[in-house]
Amino acid sequence: MSLPVIALVGRPNVGKSTLFNYLTRTRDALVADYAGLTRDRKYGRVKRGERAYLLVDTGGITDDVDGIDSVAKRQVELALDEADVVLFLVDARQGLNSADQAISAMLRRLDKPVILVTNKVDGINIDLAVADFHSLGMGNPVSIAATHGRGVNELLSRVSADLPDEDEVLDADDEERYAGVSIAVVGRPNVGKSTLVNRLLGEERVVVFDEAGTTRDSVYIPFERNGKRYTLIDTAGMRRRAKVTLLVEKFSIIKALQSVEKANVVIYLIDASEGITDQDAHLLGMVIEAGRALIIGFNKWDGLDNDQRELIKRQTDVKLPFLDYAEKHSISALHGSGVGKLFDVVHKLYEAAMVDMSTSVLTQILKDAVAGHQPPMVNGRRIKLKHAHQGGRNPPVIVVHGNQTDLLPAAYERYLMNYYRNKLGLDGTPVRIVFKSPKNPYKEVKNKLSDRQLYKKKRLLEHHRKKKKDLKQKKNSRDNLRRG
């Protein structure tokens, strides 16, 4: 099952981009008090609780059938076609208008779950504000204030109820599609992804042409090598939205991100002749969020001189310091130099990502890490980390139990991640650590006093009152003596 897609639609300036930023915990979408600011689609990965999905921010739909608004509307239609759940946002402050009615009529023709979301309800009477929207016939709306996050938890609960079942079994096509070790080849357009796929397969299986955007969709290629099954995934190139003009190409990023989610190992290809761009750093950040084992391939390496190669190494240190764990290889997909070693690296990374770790080993490593560098003091108490066990694979997840773990600094968490990776030899794959603290069952329980305790409490209060009364009488006596 692919990562589900949630689309945000509505007329301009109803708060779609604000909700997008809140859910993705980013500021990727531009937000301003100006109608029609978003023209293109914006994609983000959302993980709240145990569910993860892709969120698509779309441009506002207007009645204008010409010009740029018509292009934006066509992109909205593409987003709706791919979405599993649609969030229809309306402005509770401005009330119902003809554009909302036109959009609702379009959405009712979809055979997909649509959730009506009334935004900007902070500081107003909600019942009065949303009354008119019931006439749209889209069920009870969810009232939120996207700026402050009010009502978002209820909205996420509604979304989770409409998402495909987590336990849904893969059909026969999906089982074949993801057979064996899944290897996704991703990167910006025209960096040589399809050429590398053909080189790894040893035949011309995908179209290669000297033009950016030749691959429009993710291509899945199951094959066998030395008796082992693999699935190569050639993805469409992902680049800055300002450089994207074709509607089909604009939507291909959804397919690429879904392919990354399903892969065991990701080969991110960089055109070494162009250097490492900011877009490369951004896309690699999305791969890290997915938690997949990573190989960074510097393609077209054979065409560089020594100065250019040194520049690439310096750029790697400056722009990609967060990828110190990733495997880095210099290759030439066209001529084949360095490509033969990739399968050995893929196997090593796959084994690291799918490793089974015993509780005793993880706990001993935790004790060694704490002995070498203790957690800090918080409110006069030392944070205690007691034991650890495995919580998942692809990527490896380590669950650490202790006291006050919610107060543990991010720097110490990174220290533990690097310590575990070095001790376990988990090269090329990220390690995720989940901290858990025991709940105090008596935290909210009020202590019920026994009869003896109640009697002692009463005696203590009487003694306190009597002592206070005696002190007052002595003070009055001293004052009278002074006046006399």
385-398 average pLDDT score: 92
pLDDT digits (tens, 9 = 90+) for 43-86: 777 877 667 788 888 877 765 544 334 555 666 777 788 788 99
- Give yes or no for a contact between 237 and 191, defined as CB atoms under 8 angstroms apart: yes
From its phi and psi, is residue 202 left (phi > 0), alpha (psi between -120 and 50) or beta? left
Residue 31 pLDDT > 70, yes or no? no
pTM of the complete model: 0.62
- Token pair, residue 99, equals 């554009």
Residue 241 pLDDT > 70, yes or no? no
Range ranked top by mean pLDDT from 174-183, 398-407, 471-480: 398-407
* Res. 38 pLDDT band, cuts 50 70 90: very low
DSSP single-letter state for residue 55: E
Indicate if the alpha-carbon torsion angle 356, 360, 364, 367 is positive or negative. Answer: positive
Position 227 scores a pLDDT of 81
Position 72 scores a pLDDT of 56
More confident residue, 252 or 227: 227
DSSP single-letter state for residue 28: -
- Give yes or no for a contact between 359 and 390, defined as CB atoms under 8 angstroms apart: yes
Position 249 scores a pLDDT of 41
State CA 467 to chain mean position distance.
63
* Res. 459 pLDDT band, cuts 50 70 90: very high
Residues with Cβ < 8 Å from 38, sequence gap 6 or more?
A: 16, 17, 29, 30, 57, 58, 59, 60
* Mean pLDDT of the residues in the chain: 80
Looking at 222-236, 348-362, 455-469, which range is the least confident one? 222-236
More confident residue, 148 or 365: 365
Helix (H) or strand (E) holding 455: helix 451-483
What Cα–Cα distance (Å) separates residue 294 from each residue in 178, 239, 350, 426, 483?
A: 18, 19, 10, 12, 90
Residue 273 pLDDT > 60, yes or no? yes
Spell out where 336-469 has E strands: 377-378, 381-382, 384-392, 397-403, 432-436
Position 451 scores a pLDDT of 87
Helix (H) or strand (E) holding 225: strand 219-225
Position 298 scores a pLDDT of 92
- Give yes or no for a contact between 213 and 251, defined as CB atoms under 8 angstroms apart: no
Looking at 1-5, 146-150, 333-337, which range is the least confident one? 1-5
Residue 129 pLDDT > 80, yes or no? yes
11-32 average pLDDT score: 74
pLDDT digits (tens, 9 = 90+) for 306-362: 998 899 889 888 888 888 888 898 998 888 888 888 888 999 999 999 999 999 999
Alpha carbons 176 and 171: distance in angstroms, whole number: 9
Residue 235: exposed, middle, or buried by beta-carbon count in 10 A (0-12, 13-18, 19+)?
buried
* Length in residues, the chain: 484
Range ranked top by mean pLDDT from 139-153, 227-241, 353-367: 353-367
Residue 406 pLDDT > 80, yes or no? yes
Position 41 scores a pLDDT of 56
197-207 average pLDDT score: 70
Position 198 scores a pLDDT of 84
Residue 170 pLDDT > 70, yes or no? no
164-168 average pLDDT score: 59
Q: Beta 85-91 vs 5-9: how paired, if at all?
A: parallel
Position 91 scores a pLDDT of 92
